Structure 1
Amino acid sequence: MGALKLKKDVSLEDEINSEIYYEQKYISYLKDYLNGVKPDLSIELIDLNKYIQQSIKKSKRFIGDSEIKVSFSIKGSSKFYSNPYYIEFIFDQIIENGVLFHDDLKKEPFLDIELVVDKDKLMVEYVDNGIGIPDDQINYIFNMYCWLSEKSKGYGIGLTLVKQFVENMAGKIFFNSSAGVGSHIQIQIPNAFAF
């Protein structure tokens, strides 16, 4: 289990270099997706702890002057095999959104991440107490070019690609949210080792 209180503590140069790297990678994902290019779907052993920690670190650029507590736990002793390209992107996007859309008005903003891995699948659950999404907008969350908040940054396609990547791996994604309360995302991804 890990818990980090994120606050912006990186130098301007590190922040710029991180932003350039991240945007180049994101644009590459987008170009491949829009051009129908299938990424390398090689299967590798995934170090879940490493991927989660990297995604949390990358999300610091969205903190601003606030703080948010990000905690995670990994349960299960099975090894998890999947596509690292998809896993990295999914973790980055979901954690980025949890951090970006935290609620500055709440005394203790948080994002809790729980991963449970067994021989058949990885279950990932994200729960936050962020700004949430109004009921009348939830059906649009996975639509391309969708911005549902003035806090939105980027291209409005992150969750579209997350859903597509999860489905490309024969997985499922479930989303629930309430305005002013927060969001809850569950993702199930088959363990390629099981096949």
Structure 2
Amino acid sequence: MLNLAKMEGSVIDPNGYMGMIESCVNKMDFFIIKVIEYYKSVRVDEAIEIINLEKLAAESIDLCRMQNPAIVFDVNVNQQCEFKADSFRLSVILNNLISNAVKYQKPGEHYPLVKLMIGVNEKEADILIEDNGVGIIEDHLNNVFKMFFRSNFSVKGLGIGLYIVKEALTKIGGEISVESTYGVGTSFRLRVPNLASVNENER
């Protein structure tokens, strides 16, 4: 209906109310998507399966690249052994972290960069996501995983993505840490248990 109303000559809108309404609708749509993502992450049963992390990472990058086609992705995946985990939750985690790395780039950055490094051993997957974006104020670092907390209001967001990441990681027994320098960039390090070794020990 908004699109119809915005058609040339279909309605007079001198104050730009249609644009404001569209912005509110888009925010609400995004919020609903995030809430659904959260409840799925919390309530959906774990589906443990063999994961090709290079493929999973590529899928997340393809999904997030459209946010900023200028972003350069530096990806290094070293997976020499079988890795088993909950692919749905791991996908949710990567999607949110990579999306944030893309979203919170510095305006006018001539070389916007997101690094993704993944190493896998029999015990766990070690995942590092690093960007050269706006960074996070040091006093805010302890709060970034809280629901609705936002460190930077100059970029559109809801403050729910990192909360979903933490909840999903907790569900699969993983850990996350964050380091950031304001104005320089941010890095998130994840450790996700490799359940392939658990399954082997149970045989």
Query: Is TM (by shorter chain) over 0.5?
Result: yes
Is the 1:172–1:188 contact (alpha carbons within 8 Å) kept by the matching residues of 2?
A: yes
Structure 2 residue corresponding to 1:42, chosen from 37, 47, 65: 47
Equivalent residues of 1:100, 1:151 under 8 A apart: no
Q: Distance in 2 between matches of 1:132 and 1:54?
A: 25
Asked if the contact 1:43/1:83 (under 8 Å) is kept, the reply is: yes
CA distance in 1, matches of 2:79, 2:124: 11
Pairing 1:29–2:37 present? yes
Aligned match for 2:152, one of 127, 133, 149: 149
Unaligned residue ranges in structure 2 (runs of 5+) = 1-28, 199-203
Shift of 1:49: 1.6
Q: Quote the residue 2:183 is aligned against.
A: 180
1:92 corresponds in structure 2 to 95
Any unmatched runs of 5+ in structure 1?
1-20
* Alignment correspondent of 2:26: none
Counterpart mapping for 1:79-158 below 5 A:
79-158=82-161
Greater gyration radius: 2
Q: Return the offset for 1:26.
A: 3.5
The residue matched to 1:44 in structure 2 has which SS? strand
CA positional deviation for 1:30: 2.6
Q: Deviations over 1:133-154 (max 9, x none)?
A: 1112111110101122134434
Aligned-CA RMSD value: 2.3
TM-score scaled by length of structure 1: 0.80
Match of 2:5 in 1: none
Q: CA deviation at 1:25?
A: 5.4
Equivalences for residues 149-168 of structure 1 within 5 A: 149-168=152-171
1:53 shift after superposition: 1.0
Q: Look up the equivalent residue of 2:62 and give its one-letter code.
A: K
State the distance in 2 between where 1:31 and 1:80 align: 25
Listed one character per residue, the Cα deviations across residues 92-147 of structure 1 (whole Å, up to 9, x for unaligned) are 00100000011133321101100001111000011111100111211111010112
Letter in structure 2 aligned against 1:94: L
Q: How many residues align?
A: 172
- The alpha-carbon distance between structure 1 residues 171 and 70, as it changes in their structure 2 partners (threshold 3 A), is same
What TM-score, normalized to structure 2?
0.77
**Paired AA for residue 125 in structure 1:** L
Structure 1 counterpart of 2:192:
189
**Is the CA contact (8 Å cut-off) linking 2:145 and 2:163 kept in structure 1?**
yes
Moved more, 161-170 or 177-186: 161-170
Instruction: Determine if contact 2:34/2:160 at 8 Å carries over to the other structure.
Output: no
Q: Is the 8 A contact 1:101 1:151 kept in 2?
A: no
